[in-house]
A and B are shown apart, each in its own frame.
Chain A
Amino acid sequence: MTAPSTHTAKPATGISALLKTAFVNALIALVLFSLMVGIRTEAGSDGQLTYWTRFGELASLVVAVFGGSIVIELLRQWIGPTGAEKLVPPAVQSGVSLLGRYVAPALLIFTVLVPVIFYNQRYILDLAILVLTYVMLGWGLNVVVGLAGLLDLGYVAFYAVGAYSYGLLATNFGWSFWICLPLAGILAAFWGVLLGFPVLRLRGDYLAIVTLAFGEIIRLVIINWQDLTGGPNGVSGIPRPSFFGIPLDNSDDGLAARLGIEYSATHRIVFLFYLILALALLTNWVTIRLRRLPIGRAWEALREDEVACRALGINTTTTKLTAFATGAMFGGFAGAFFATRQGFISPESFTFQESALVLAIVVLGGMGSQLGVALAALAMIGGFELFRGLENYRMLVFGMSMVLIMIWRPRGLVGHRAPTVYLTKAKAISSDLVKEGHG
């Protein structure tokens, strides 16, 4: 803990400077938290506000800031003013990338085996389904944000469109899940194009705000259009999915009875697990294939430089619209799955927080990296489960980690977002060829 103040080369790194910084930080923290944390207000039963003091919490927070800034300052001096890149030596980086080649297949095999390993652990199965749903959403949004570079803050709108499409079609007309699934995708894609058209001319931040507004509009319409959507009460009694027409229940023509095995409620969970796994893998496969098609190349070009893209004759209109439509379609699929899994949907499931969560998964995963997004979804949803007991604190931690990741590794924790094709080395051109008069 004792930093040798006499031996350090730089004068600013002395222990007195360190303490001074920490003291100033603690003072700022004291002012910031003085009223918000030091005083707690609450409305009493008669509507009158009362307050009480919490100087203990305030003091511990200030001390924590004081200690924290000393630690951070020391770390900064020991590591030196290196960027995040230098933290990982090149040898380790190449090792990681070599390892990365085997991580994806291993992870896939493990995922397929999850229902076998954890057959009796309902909690883990449910959690795995949740993680896979977010993996799928992340992969879907990855098309828009990661590949095409269009910051979409209203992705949850397409999720909602998919969920309500299935919920309403199934409860009103009795259509089966397998008919509604493509319909939900098509409807969501339609809304994606509908949103895409107006925002074609917008870029960057403006695009983000408009998509955010769009997502909020969809949610508000769902809340207020009570005749159709049931308003805040939501849609309940959404039918469970069937195994291609064969219901997964305890009846005589259920799947268990037909196969001659004893019925168990876990069958449906396992089926749902493989369903979302298949949907997620479909998303992944389509994305990987699309990346190799001209349209995928155009998305990546659009992300790297829109002006250059236009100069090269790429139609930015269709490129953006297809990105929105493709991303929205996968969102719609995931929404339909969400509806059939829950059996109940309400506008509360489609708030801006969901959009931000999916976006955070994509960003954390490294915008464009498929494996990165999957790992980020696992880390994020798993992290949320760890903080389950601290319901209020988890969004606080979520926000903090988003800020810290942006500061520490803005390109994502796991992945990279290099274009699929690029020049590996500069082509050397003989000086004879480029002399004046030779072109």
Chain B
Amino acid sequence: MDYFAQQLINGLVLGSIYGLIAIGYTMVYGIVGMINFAHGDVFMIGGFIALITFLILISFGLTAIPLILLVVLLVSMAITALYGWTIERIAYRPLRHSFRLAPMLSAIGMSFVLTNYSQVAQGARVKPIPPFITGGYTLHESPDGFVIQLSNIQIMVVVTTIVLLAIFTWLVSSTRLGRDMRACEQDQTMAALLGVNVDRTISMTFVIGAALAAVAGLMYLLYYGLVDFFMGFVAGIKAFTAAVLGGIGSLPGAMLGGLAIGLIETFWSAYFSVEYKDVAAFSILIVVLIFMPTGLLGRPEVEKV
């Protein structure tokens, strides 16, 4: 039981990270109708930028951990958002009215560019950082010596995710930008006729998605203590699985799907085999797409001629 509870905590933390990435997938798919294959790599770039900012701040002699975290968060969100904007501008916008597979192929190319760009720029080796946020709470100690731990970093990941999700939900439901986004999602031509700047709205979608991916990258860095240039690929596919599981186009769905994937992966590793945890995640993707293509909270897609 204790083991189960501990895995539940771990799974929720992992799921929060997946959920943050999944929001980027689901928003872009909702508006442009394409799988932003490079989004996993944007997450990786976010992690790298966070790492480098950390290093610089520490070498400047800063010691206040909350201040460092805040600066790192803002810097990595800002720069990664600019990456998202640039990627959309270079690789996707010229293809918006091209044939169906073109944006997907362009996105795959972009994913290669980002992966190898960071390999060339920062080297192939894994980059570890010392743990910044230490300590935690012992929730329960069973007679046989097993303790359920809740570390401060885990609390931070979950709290950050909840706060961001709240801000983001407010953004989509109650601001001008959110209204424009929802309008573009339904009908771009009509939205344009009614004075919505479609290009700008789509750009903002990519910017927000990239900023959230940067947060996920920072959380990943803090939680696992390392980044490497290849981490975006698998994390990206899993986050996409989460977006599909939750119902692509649905924001709460993406978060829910992220949590589900995080929990499934953690429990699979804990009770079955660690080696096959990725196989489990990919199998879920296939099964969900086949039997439940609209996901948990998605709307059924109408087939248009």
Contacts and interface: CB of A to CB of B under 8 A. Distances in A.
A414 to B, nearest CB: 16
A209 B237 CA distance: 8
Interface in B91-135: 91, 94-95, 98-106, 108-130
Closest 10 CB pairs of A and B: A402-B109, A399-B112, A399-B113, A213-B282, A406-B106, A396-B116, A403-B109, A224-B275, A395-B116, A410-B102
A51 B120 contact: no
Interface string B257-299: 0000000000000000001101100110110011001000000
B83 interface: yes
B5 interface: no
A142 B114 CA distance: 27
Interface in A24-72: 28, 31-32, 34-37, 39-43, 47-49, 51
A260 interface: no
Interface residues of A, number: 59
Interface stretch (A199-207, A326-334, A374-382): A199-207
B71 interface: no
By secondary structure, the B interface counts as helix
B79 A410 contact: no
B155 interface: no
Contacts, number: 179
A401 interface: yes
21 contacts: A36-B48, A40-B122, A42-B125, A51-B55, A51-B56, A153-B108, A202-B293, A205-B104, A209-B237, A210-B285, A210-B289, A213-B237, A214-B282, A216-B237, A217-B282, A353-B112, A392-B119, A403-B90, A403-B91, A406-B95, A407-B91
B49 A307 contact: no
A410 B96 CA distance: 12
Interface in A343-399: 352-353, 356, 359-360, 363, 392-393, 395-396, 398-399
Nearest to B304: A307
A188 B135 CA distance: 52
B233 interface: yes
A400 interface: yes
A151 interface: yes
Given A210-B286, A352-B233, A401-B109, 10 more contacts: A202-B290, A209-B35, A210-B290, A212-B237, A308-B305, A393-B116, A399-B111, A399-B116, A406-B98, A407-B94
A40 B35 contact: no
Given A41-B51, A51-B52, A398-B112, A36 B117 contact: yes
Nearest to B287: A198
Residue of B55, B102, B121, B293 most packed against chain A (CB within 10 A) = B121
B112 A36 contact: no
Interface string A141-155: 000000000010100
Contacts of B35: 205, 208-209
Given A307-B303, A399-B111, A393 B289 contact: no
Interface string B228-242: 000001000100110
B254 interface: no
Contacts of B127: 41, 43, 49
B45 interface: yes
Contacts of A402: 105-106, 108-109, 112
A220 B123 contact: no
B109 A35 contact: no
B86 interface: yes
B112 A356 contact: yes
Contacts of A112: none
Nearest to B98: A410
Given A205-B35, A356-B112, A213 B126 contact: no
